[in-house]
Structure 1
Amino acid sequence: MRKKMVMGWLLLLLGGIVTLFWHNEWVYALPTPVPAHYKPVHTGDAVRLPQLPVFVQDKPVLLHFFNPDCPCSRFNIPYFTSLVHKYNSQAAFAIVLMTPKHYTEKEIQDKFHINIPVITDASLAATCGVYSTPQAVIIDAEQHLYYRGNYNKSRYCQNTETNYAEIALNALLLHTPSTVLYDSNALRAYGCQLPNCTKK
């Protein structure tokens, strides 16, 4: 009898874990709702960047909008880090921290194991038209928006054919006009809704 009860509890626990896992997968596979008062920023619009030394050079900039509490942001860390290592001689990079919690720059840099600027000015999200994390924003050397969107169709950035942010960065480095065609998954925001890492 006791053995059956233990087995029953274990099956119930396992069922709960599986249900929770699939619920999270389903929720984060849906597009992030567009905020009611959202003001879009269009490709080609001027974007005023913070006055940081890393931006005072003739290089494009990739801003990584990151929330440490967002599961999608955490899954994205290895891929973003790989982009920094691959393109740091051709582009500037910065992490835009999107959380009301306090973190030091070093704490965030340690999560990525890279030494790049960490921006804590959350108003930069509205400046760039960002309302979820993680999101990539690529700004050309003249400080115009070139790309704003997802890193990949896959939550874990494993599909090399849909590395949207990298495709956009390569196109910019090759001086390709920003009218590069992406599929609908590139520009429709997915992930955690700002400002509090919710998914409604």
Structure 2
Amino acid sequence: MRRSLRIGAVAIILVGALACVGIIFWQEELRYQLPTSVPDNYREVLIGEHVTLPASFDSTHAQFLHFYNPDCPCSRFNAKHLRSLIGAHRDSIRITIVVASQDEVEAATSEFGEEIDIVIDKQRRITSACGVYSTPQAAIVDSNGNLYYRGNYNASRYCTARATNFAELALLALINNQRPPEFGLLATQSYGCELKKQNVLIAY
């Protein structure tokens, strides 16, 4: 009887441990490999469509927008790649970090440096204008105010596959006055974390 109880207790502990591992794996890895759910009120913004950005943006210069959420593991994983883009291309294009609230400014500054421009998009006007609904995402707007690229940084969440550095390849194409590249769904289908719902009703 006691042996049966011990076996039962061990089995319960093992099942509980496996369940915990499964939950952690889902929260930290598996769910970010699935496409982000498209919001019900989402309006797709097509490449070449004019984008209306806030007046604080210089409309005569091309813009590289990075949509950042410090609470999203995917945003943390691609931070090193973004820092390399900032170092290599900040003289060629205005690079701006877009966050959802004032609370995220300190984390963005710590991650990318005090010299980088950071904009708070409290009412999602920038994300809506660019057709962004998850983080991390990149949007490139050309000097005519038209959307040049909107999508993922890489097919790998760690940005280790150089052949699929979509945002970087699009940026290089813009700098070289080429047409917007066509990468397909791996680049344009959003992966990562949903935007925070609590930020919708806060005025910009």
Q: Deviations over 1:137-163 (max 9, x none)?
A: 001111110000000011111111110
Contact 1:44 1:146 in 2 (8 A): yes
Q: Deviations over 1:120-147 (max 9, x none)?
A: 1232111111111110000111111000
Partner residue in 2 for 1:186: 187
Structure 1's 174 and 186: CA in aligned 2 closer, same or farther, altered over 3 A? same
Partner residue in 1 for 2:133: 131
Contact 1:65 1:134 in 2 (8 A): yes
Partner residue in 2 for 1:111: 111
Contact 2:78 2:159 in 1 (8 A): yes
Structure 1's 14 and 79: CA in aligned 2 closer, same or farther, altered over 3 A? farther
Code of the aligned partner of 2:46: H
Identity among equivalent positions (%) equals 38
- Distance in 2, matches of 1:188 and 1:156, equals 17
- Distance in 2, matches of 1:94 and 1:157, equals 19
Partner residue in 1 for 2:202: none
How many residues are aligned here? 191
Partner residue in 2 for 1:56: 58
The two structures have a TM-score, normalised by structure 1, of: 0.83
Structure 1's 114 and 155: CA in aligned 2 closer, same or farther, altered over 3 A? farther
Contact 2:69 2:135 in 1 (8 A): yes
User: Alignment partner of 1:78: what SS?
Assistant: helix
- Distance in 1, matches of 2:175 and 2:168, equals 10
Structure whose alpha-carbon radius of gyration is higher: 2
- Distance in 1, matches of 2:158 and 2:197, equals 22
Partner residue in 1 for 2:148: 146
Q: Deviations over 1:83-121 (max 9, x none)?
A: 10011111110011025xx32745421122352111112
Partner residue in 1 for 2:100: 98
Code of the aligned partner of 1:191: G
The two structures have a TM-score, normalised by structure 2, of: 0.81
Partner residue in 1 for 2:25: 22
Contact 1:59 1:90 in 2 (8 A): no
User: Alignment partner of 2:116: what SS?
Assistant: coil
Q: CA deviation at 1:44?
A: 0.7
Structure 1's 177 and 128: CA in aligned 2 closer, same or farther, altered over 3 A? same
User: Alignment partner of 1:103: what SS?
Assistant: helix
Q: CA deviation at 1:15?
A: 3.6
The Cα RMSD (Å) is: 2.7
Code of the aligned partner of 1:19: G
Structure 2 counterpart of 1:40, from 35, 39, 44: 44
Q: CA deviation at 1:173?
A: 1.0
Contact 2:70 2:107 in 1 (8 A): no
Written as runs of structure 1 = structure 2, the 5 A alignment for 1:61-72 is 61-72=63-74
